[in-house]
Structure formats: C-alpha cells, structure tokens
Chain A
C-alpha cells in the first residue's frame, strides 16, 4: 500500500472549504428551488441573500439545545456527530485535483462505501433514541431503504473498478484520460446516481424524513445545533455524492487546459448539485416498499449484468493474465 498524506495546511483547507460549501448549499438550494417554482427565494440578507446562511447559523446556534427527558441520552447526543464525521472522513480519499487531496489510498472506493454505510447508523440511532413514534417510523424506513440501496450501490461501482483496474480513486481518474467512464459505464452511472440519491436521503428518496407523512422522520425531536448537524450532514452528503460521480464517471479534474483542473472539478460537481435540487423540485416520493422492490428486483440484477458484461469485455480485450485487478 502507498499512503500519501497531504500536509496539515491542505487538510485544514479542504475540511474548511467542504464545510463552507455544504453550508452555502442551504442558500443555493433555496434559490434554485425558488427559480424552478417561479419564486424569488431568500434575497434580503447581503448581496443576493448570500448572508442568509450566516443568519441561519446565528439562529441555529442560539437556539435551546434540548434533549427530551424520554430519550436515550447517549445515542441521542451521539447520532448527529456520526453523520458529520463519517461523511467528512469520506472526503479524505477524494482527489480534487492532481495536487489537491488528503490521502492517496489504495482502497479509496471501499473506504467511501464503508463510511457511507456507517452514515446510516446515524439516522437509525437518532430515530430510535428519540423514543418518538414518528422518529421510530423514520428510522424503520431508513433501515429498509439502506438494505435496498447499499447492495447495488457497491456492485454498480465495480464496473468502473474493473475498467480502471484499481480501487484507488486517483488512478481511476487517471484511467479516464482517453474516455470518461460515463460512456462505457452508462448503466453503472445511472444505477450509482439513483443509489447516491438514496444514500444522501434526498428527494425523491427522502423516505426516512418524509415531512408530509411523518413530521420530520428521524430528526423530529432534534433542535438547535444537533439539528444543524443533521442538516449540514445532508448537504455534505450531496457534495460527497456529486464529487464521487465526478471522480468515478466524469473524469474528475480532466478537462480542456484553458481552465485549471480544480475549476473543472468544481464545475462538474456543481452540475450534479444543481441536478439534485432539480430532482427535489420535480419528483414525487415513492413508498419505501416500492423502493425496495425496485432496488432488489430491477436495479440489483441490472447492476450484476452490467458487471458481468464489463468483466467479459475486459477479459476478451486484454486476456486473462494482463488485464483486470
């Protein structure tokens, strides 16, 4: 294994930038939703309403940080930081540009998948610890949703791994120098996109939250900074999934040379973030049994088929000895 760890300064910069971007997404999402719903959105605080985030943060920090007396204290307090920490950990393996990144890990893809699975614990713990029927329903749905998307999420990525011959995200980007993996792995891209939406609990798959049905789902009882952590954690998830989609399928920082690599990365990720908001503006929410049957009966066989065909083609092209992992 070759582990190249970035300097403390670059780690700090990446951490700070990622959190600021996730917080700014609150404003971005509200403005974009308003644009697609023919409204104006927040535009009062600062230029174009950019300081709305600051106002929201002041409000959320100064709110009473209340732990319900009927809740299970330890897991109630523990749940919100888990999702923040776990998703921030996932960012360590993402290569933002040739010289920007925290760790160059040989197991990058596996690490991200493992961390993403741990994030589901946050949602389930938060709902169970709240000792509230809506929160319980929310975490029940979260568990049902998790066992339906985690399976094909991992398998959909294996096609990319087979083509690149590595679990290292940086090498996966470098392997896309000729053609982006969205072309040979279009089905894998679609499946991972769907799984990513479910992973970050965004509409149309915000089934554990489902405001219209079960109040706020798993974070019904949360307030103040704990609610803020769930909130920012959700947007961190959006940024993470967008970055992953860019790294795995859209060639990461690759692009024509007139712009620096990091700008290409940010632009591609921004397109996916805007797409996530568009999904929220347009899509209705399915029932969770619909998501489960859709995942197990349609997407799982499709992703397995995709993996088999990709592996067969790679084997036929390169022979049994030279190609593959």
Chain B
C-alpha cells in the first residue's frame, strides 16, 4: 500500500516540483537573429581555402579531400605552374550536399582546406550553393599561421632546390667516391 501511494503520488509530486523550479532559471536559448550565440573556434561550418604566409594558395590539388568526402561534394582539377607548384585549376564545393563532417580538413596534408564557425549560408537559388575557388579562397592563413607546405616539403620548385627546405639535409651524390 505504501509503495502504491509512493509510486502514484509522492514521486509524481517530486517530478512536478522539480520541473516547476525551472520557471526561475534563465532560458538556455537566445533570440537568434537579434542575438548571436557564441560559436566555438573549432565549430565545423562553412569551408574555406587558406593561403600560406607568403600569400600563395596552400592547396596542392592532391584530391585527398575529394576522396575523403563521404557525400562527394568536392570537385577539383590539378594544374601545374611554370615553377613546378601544383595548384587547383578549379575547386568546387557543392554546399547543398556538404554535411560539414570535417573529413576534408582532416585529410588535407597542407592545411589548405579548413572549416569555420560561420553557418549562415542560406540561398534562394540552389545553384548559388555551389561555391567556386574564388568564393572559397580567403586572404589569410586560417588556423595555422606559420605553416608553409613548400618550405617544409622536399619537393623541388622554382626558387627552392633540393635540400633547401627547412630541416632538410643537402642531397647525397651517390655516384661520388669522395668522403
């Protein structure tokens, strides 16, 4: 009998009281268009393409992001300039497909592709959701300020020969017998 009364009334009254107390708690939500919520720096929102500290495109058109993308929303074409640097001829992200999973950012070997805390990307025309390279490129370095892929990697380009990269030893001439 006691258990029945406890189950039917006491526990229900406790529940009601606990929910009622929430009337005196400040609301967790904000009035969005007037008041913007704080967005965390690592929030996965709109995708950008960053530049290295010298102002060149970081993207080397390796296609790893397009491979990693689970919804196949990234499309790009490799090109090569006269210095031997690789760059994307076009780089296209279809944001109507993108699920903001961030796999492209994890796959990128040069920190070129990055996700930002911006999420306000609504458009009236579906075609406007397709962003080209000019729309994606920003003028800054994004989250990684000092990283410059071609200064670290061993790849030979115009103005930087073999062995001149940071932390790289000069190449060994395997045909020479000199000590």
Contacts and interface: CB of A to CB of B under 8 A. Distances in A.
Interface of A: 34-40, 43, 278-279, 281-283, 294, 298
B16 interface: yes
Nearest to B16: A282
Contact of A40 (B4, B19, B20, B31): B31
A281 B28 contact: no
A148 to B, nearest CB: 15
A38 B29 contact: yes
Contacts of A294: 8
Contact of B27 (A38, A279, A298): A38
A35 B4 contact: no
Is the interface on chain B under 10, 10 to 19, 20 to 34, or 35 or more residues?
10 to 19
Contacts of A278: 16, 19-20
Contacts of A279: 16
A62 to B, nearest CB: 24
A38 B16 contact: no
A8 B28 CA distance: 49
A35 B22 contact: yes
A298 B8 CA distance: 10
Interface string B19-42: 110110111110100000000000
Contacts, number: 37
B15 interface: yes
Given A38-B28, A40-B29, A40-B31, A283 B15 contact: yes
B6 interface: no
A260 to B, nearest CB: 28
B20 A38 contact: no
Contacts of A36: 19-20, 22-23
Contacts of A35: 22-23
Contacts of B26: 38
A62 B7 CA distance: 46
Contacts of B28: 38-39
A43 B30 CA distance: 12
B4 A298 contact: yes
Contacts of B12: 283
Nearest to B12: A283
A282 B12 CA distance: 9
Contacts of B23: 35-36
A39 B29 contact: yes
Contacts of B29: 38-40
Contacts of A283: 12, 15-16
A278 B17 CA distance: 9
A112 B62 CA distance: 77
Contacts of A40: 27, 29, 31
A245 B18 CA distance: 24
A30 B16 CA distance: 18
Contacts of B8: 294, 298
Contacts of B16: 278-279, 282-283
A36 to B, nearest CB: 5
A286 to B, nearest CB: 11
Give the 7 A-B CB pairs with smallest separation, nearest first: A282-B19, A38-B28, A36-B22, A282-B15, A282-B16, A39-B29, A38-B27
A109 B4 CA distance: 31
A34 B8 CA distance: 26
Nearest to A44: B31
A230 B151 CA distance: 71
Contacts of B19: 36, 278, 281-282
A301 to B, nearest CB: 12
A282 B19 CA distance: 6
Nearest to B30: A40
B153 to A, nearest CB: 51
Contacts of A282: 15-16, 18-20
B102 to A, nearest CB: 29
A43 B27 CA distance: 13
